[in-house]
Structure 1
Amino acid sequence: MSLMRSKKLHAHFDCFSGAAGDMMMASCIDAASCLLKDSSYKSYTSDLSFSSTDELLNLIQDNLKNGIPEIKDEFGLIMKRVWRGGMGSIAATKVDVTSIYEHKAAPVPQKDDGDDIQNTSFEVHDHSHEHGHSHSHGNTHSGPLRNLPQIRKMLEESSPEHIPPIVAKLAIETFTKLAIAESFTHGSTNENTVHFHEVGAIDSIVDIIGTLLCLYHLNVDLEGEISVSSSPLPMGEGTVWTDHGQLPVPAFATMRLMMGMKTCPGPGANSQTITGELVTPTAAALLRVLTGIDESSHGGRMGRAPNMIPRAIGLGAGTKDFIKFPNVVRLILGSHVGLDQHECFVKKETEGEELSSKLDGHHSHSHDHHRNIGISKEDTSAEEPSIHHSHVHEHMHEHSHVHSVNDDKSNQEISTKDQSSHHNHQHSHDHSHIHTHKKSEEDGEWNVDKLTLLQANLDDITSEHLAFAMDLLIESGAVDAWVGHIVMKKNRSAHQLNCLYHSNKGESMDEKMLDIIFRHTTTLGIRIQRDVERISLKRSMLSVKTEYGDINVKVGTLGSENVSLKAEFEDCKKISIETGIPIKAISDLAVQLAKQKI
């Protein structure tokens, strides 16, 4: 086996027809087949612990049986190829969990207990492996119905050789979400005491832990901050029959799990909507945890797939076969996640508003014990971002079309100032949309200081000499230096050299700047403007961790609101050179992670 560590992948679950736990696990196994077939993906498969889908299925079964001895003799896994859709033309992988315990259907009015109802509209709310569940909430499982403390104990005491710690952690969190939803549904205030059937049944245990194991063995970055995303979940319509009676879709526990998650009407919304439950509690709980719903104030990582390079696609089939739509979950495994589209995971605050123009300014944390995941904060692997103040760029609004040479010097400052002597406008390079003439409503909302501005008009200098002079100005302590295009007398096209520096450094700074311009340009005269007022945002530096390395992101603050985020160019440049990934993708990734941290 190669000693090179495989690169981590991002997993996006496309739940256009709904989702169930076994469908998610099957989509992972199907994607493994796709990943293994392409020899060009060796950097993503070099250290995989399997070489075929059969080996992956056996590996998952072995991990479960040997990692959690309590369930060793209770289940088995069967994989098969099926076809879904009205024409039966969509091939997918189906995984069935066999159990030693008896499973019966819930009684439907005017039907005998156990009658086959999978082709009717009577859907049973539970953890079974289709959208038309045939398992009930009643005492139809002759096997043990475990509660949350029992399952948590099994996972905490599981063999780390077979159940990796990150898998156990996410599984406990998922079971806790299920327990909370079930306890609320039945009016209990303690999720540890209620006996609930989604969590306690063996097939749900296998579905949840098996899916997480699949993702782990596929080298999905489960410990990363953007490891898994999902499409919105279809709501469906109609009702389901349970031992609690006829319930609306989604059923109560499922609906509670979907709170805060992005949803959509479901397939057939514009023609013939599919009736019945489309999302099971197991799938809702898994996706809630994997997409970070409770760690985000804007809907987690749910939306369209992020900008990435697809590496593998897997289709996991449910039991029911819809007439007009394939009953499958599509998994997309990808690399080089850019996340430069703001609409992907970030909810718009107002319709049509630019997402980059306004950030929340805080990270939402729930203090309700029902939102806890059953694992202490110290156990989480995600590090809190480190924030420290830094002197960074301040882009300047000048009356000339210019390009600053100081975009990437983190300890230089670029000013913001309205100047009346010229009438061409310099565009800011950040995304803050700040009007500097707006009066601050409270003291200290932004920084104000006074600088000196030097200007020289040049119509007979080469580009090389001009660039060299600008470099010397910056190296000698100028806050910024830039060039704008002007038209001089006799309609001559020319350049205007601008240099901005701190006035409080005395005459020595004046002499230094003037000497450079006179010696290294062709000008015969220099204009000096004293006390040029500059207004700048308060800022801090936020460090984010990516799979490629740490990147610093500058955060501009207006009052209590974060209005500007920009990744440090040198950090992104270094990673781009080392990995070959476009610098824009690196920068966009860092900004997206920073948004999730703030």
Structure 2
Amino acid sequence: MAIIIDPQTGGIAGNMIIGALVDLGADENKLKEIMEYAASEFGKVEVSFEKIIKKGISSTYCHVEMVEKSPVFHFNEFIEKIESLDLDKKIIEMSVRIFERIAVAESKVHGSSLEKVHFHEVGASDAVADVIGAVYAYFDLNLDSHEIIGLPIALGGGRVKTAHGILPVPAPAVVEILKGANCLGGPVDSELATPTGSAIYMEFCNTLEEFLPSISPLAIGYGAGMKDFDFPNVLRIIKTEEIGEGDQVDVIETNIDHLTGEEIGYLFDKLLEEGARDVSVTPIIMKKNRQGSLLKVISKREVREHIIDVMFKEIGTLGIRIAPNTHRGIAKREFVKKEIEVANETFEVTFKIGYFNNQIISKRPEFEDIKKIAEKTKLPLKEVNSIVSDKYE
């Protein structure tokens, strides 16, 4: 099971996360009680939930109205008040981590110590309600037992009015909070990602992906934002069975027309030894009808520069093309050992089993095991492969 948080279009805010989780089944009556109680230690808020339509999409709007403004607290005093709330320990701990994310970002942006960050920079009573509410819904839906995947966040653009004056969008604190995340500019001249929503997102997500992985959706929740655009200002959260794995790879390629077959074979093995995930060589026709080869290498990001360095040194090429952050779908796999009888002898054979949508899509015996059996029994390799494959149960 997996949870996909999708802020690619409408951005993200604390109340949008809560709305989407209510849409997925979180108890809105209990949420209202918890949110108003938590905020009462800092001010007073009134919480309500409403089903609304945002550009044709039915979504849940969590309205948090601050009816009594809170005084200004320094960060340490603020955290002490959060920790004193009569709530489950795991809710308090995660909420504190979220506020620390915001406070650390603010302290870096303003060049101050964490202790000097003021309450209004961390969040007023409505932000307390948002964070506590989102974390309560997180545990109410048992999201801590699922993988949570975050897709890129739409940030918006233009300028926004803050306690520190007019700042560019995304606000500096948002940029600081979202370090390491995938972000998108636009698509409007307006703020789409708030510091509170961004901090909750970073705390919730186990994995950050650039593209939606292979999934089998079970339920979808939509949390509405307060703004109206020519697109739906909603956050989408998908509960799904993850039917395929995926990762990010870099694809590196270059054309070759001056190496011999032996040299290309050496290069092939060399690149695999140096950390390439896969290497392929394809015959091509180059300019002026010269015969050549297309060398394509799949590499993880952390070894990409090393692989490129090896290619330049070994090939002497003048140019290498790089397609970074390419999403690669991967079937789930496992290795299973089986005892198989061939020609009245018993052999241990390792099978590579591939799964997609929880169904077996391939079960192949390892070549080296088939080779050993063929050499021992003097049977043709093709026949051994057929016998072993047919006997897999």
Residues 301 and 338 from structure 1, CA distance in 2 versus in 1: closer, same or farther, beyond 3 angstroms?
Answer: farther
Seen in structure 2, the aligned counterparts of structure 1 residues 17 and 467 have a Cα distance that, compared at 3 Å, is: farther
CA distance in 1, matches of 2:147, 2:94: 12
Q: 113, 132, 151: which one pairs with 1:209? A: 132
**So what's the TM-score if we normalise by structure 1?**
0.44
Q: Mark the runs of 5 or more structure 1 residues left unpaired by the alignment.
A: 1-8, 33-52, 102-141, 268-273, 293-299, 362-406, 413-463, 475-479, 485-494, 500-516, 524-598
Counterparts of 1:227 and 1:146, CA distance in 2: 35
The one-letter code of the counterpart of 1:96 is H
Matched, 1:157 2:84: yes
2:53 is matched by which residue type in structure 1? W
Task: Give the C-alpha shift of residue 275 in structure 1.
Answer: 0.6
Give the aligned partner of residue 337 of structure 1: 242
Q: Does the 8 Å contact 1:92/1:317 carry over to 2?
A: yes
1:541-560 alignment, distance < 5 Å: none
Q: Which amino acid aligns with 2:90?
A: I
Does residue 192 (structure 1) correspond to residue 115 (structure 2)? The answer is yes
Q: Distance in 1 between matches of 2:19 and 2:172?
A: 26
Deviation per CA, 1:155-183, whole angstroms, max 9, x where unpaired? Answer: 43333xxx333322221111001001111
AA of the residue aligned to 1:76: E
**Equivalences for 1:30-45 in 2 at 5 Å?**
30-32=23-25
| 2:203 corresponds to | 289
Give 1:277 shift: 1.1
Deviations 1:19-44 (A, max 9, x none): 11111111111122xxxxxxxxxxxx
Structure with greater contact order relative to length (CA < 8 Å, sep ≥ 6) = 2
CA distance in 2, matches of 1:522, 1:199: 73
User: Hey, what does 2:183 align to over in structure 1?
Assistant: 263
SS of structure 2 residue aligned to 1:288? helix
In our comparison, the structure showing a higher alpha carbon Rg is: 1
Shift of 1:75: 2.0
Deviation track 1:186-211 (CA, whole Å, cap 9, x = no partner) reads 220x2122204242301111111101
Say which of 10, 14, 38 aligns to 2:6.
14
Task: Write the letter of the residue equivalent to 1:94.
Answer: Y
2:250–2:299 contact (8 Å) kept in structure 1: no
| Greater percentage in strand | 2
Residue in 1 that maps onto 2:347: 471
Matched residue type, 2:52: V
Q: Shift of the alpha carbon at 1:59? A: 0.9
One-letter code aligned to 1:307: S
Equivalence for 1:309: 216
| TM-aligned CA distance change 1:243 to 1:151, over 3 Å | closer
Shift in CA distance, 156/497, structure 1 to aligned 2, threshold 3 Å:
same
Q: Is the 8 A contact 1:18 1:266 kept in 2?
A: no
The 3 A distance-change label for structure 1 pair 150 and 311 is farther
Q: Secondary structure at the match of 1:175?
A: helix
Residues 256 and 351 from structure 1, CA distance in 2 versus in 1: closer, same or farther, beyond 3 angstroms?
farther
Compute the displacement of 1:349 (Å): 4.9
SS at match of 2:77: helix
Counterpart in the other structure of 1:75 = 45
Any residues of structure 2 matched to 1:479-518 within 5 Å, and which?
482-483=369-370, 497-499=374-376
Between the two proteins, what is the percent identity of the paired residues?
A: 27
- From the superposition, tell whether residues 359 and 146 of structure 1 become closer, same or farther in structure 2 (CA, over 3 Å): same
CA distance in 2, matches of 1:522, 1:286: 62
Quote how far apart the aligned CAs of 1:95 are: 0.8
- For the 8 Å contact 1:82–1:94, the answer to whether it is kept is yes
Structure 2 equivalent of residue 297 of structure 1: none
Shift of residue 61, structure 1, vs aligned partner? 2.7
Structure 2, unmatched stretches of 5+, are 254-275, 279-297, 304-334, 351-366, 381-393
Q: Give the letter for the 2:345 counterpart.
A: A
Q: Distance in 1 between the 2:162 and 2:84 partners?
A: 34
Structure with the higher fraction of residues in helix conformation: 2
Is the counterpart of residue 100 in structure 1 residue 27 in structure 2? no
Aligned to 2:332: none
